[in-house]
Chains A and B, each alone.
Chain A
Amino acid sequence: AQKVTQAQTEISVVEKEDVTLDCVYETRDTTYYLFWYKQPPSGELVFLIRRNSFDEQNEISGRYSWNFQKSTSSFNFTITASQVVDSAVYFCALREMGSGAGSYQLTFGKGTKLSVIP
């Protein structure tokens, strides 16, 4: 069965520090997608990135970067020069490519609460 583990429950950093959020996943599928979502205190879930299992290229978007390593089943997320607005709960999620509606089901990790202190 699929599983997503975010071992870090809470992280606190001082503004401008870099921070890495860890995500480890388990799946038997060879084809799958990995996601990161941000949930600020207001509650909405904001899509950050999608990565498919065949694309191990790391990605950078502004201060955000993602490191996908199939060898270790990890999809880690780094924020450089953190800002107070980055304070939120971050969720890593896995979508296995099955058939029918089930292939759209997301398995979420428990989330990592990031607090950026001014």
Chain B
Amino acid sequence: SAVISQKPSRDICQRGTSLTIQCQVDSQVTMMFWYRQQPGQSLTLIATANQGSEATYESGFVIDKFPISRPNLTFSTLTVSNMSPEDSSIYLCSVVTAEGISTIYFGEGSWLTVV
């Protein structure tokens, strides 16, 4: 398995501001993803974080709102831009490791509340 650390774990943000969430993995991973979980809801894939190139976004998510970086094989960031209360969610980083290529692991999640 992989140890996946996310920062911040929780934050309260003002409407209109932007926040960057970091995801750090303790080993090199083949794939990294970002999911969103709105309150009381299931998880929805935002995008695949591609190393050295632009992220691949799912329908309903755009780069201007959720810019993503992945500078190397162990680190990625997700920025939630121009936040509104509807962005209040848990944002989770997930990875596929080379060893556990069939299993998808998740980070601890970053719980954002927009006021």
- A→B interface (CB under 8 Å): 33, 35, 37, 42-47, 50, 52, 91, 95, 101, 104-106, 108-111
Most buried by A among B1, B42, B48, B92: B42
Taking CB atoms and an 8 Å cut-off, the chain B residues in 22-67 that contact chain A are 31, 33, 41-43, 45, 48, 50, 56
| Chain B residues in the interface with A (C-beta under 8 A) | 1, 31, 33, 41-43, 45, 48, 50, 56, 90, 92, 94, 96, 102-109, 111
With A44-B107, A45-B92 as contacts: A105 and B45 at CB distance below 8 Å? yes
Min CB gap B25→A, angstroms: 14
**What CA separation (Å) do A52 and B102 show in the bound complex?**
9
Query: Given A43-B90, A44-B107, A47-B1, does the pair A111, B56 have CB atoms closer than 8 Å?
Result: no
Give the distance to chain A from B6, nearest Cβ to Cβ, in Å: 9
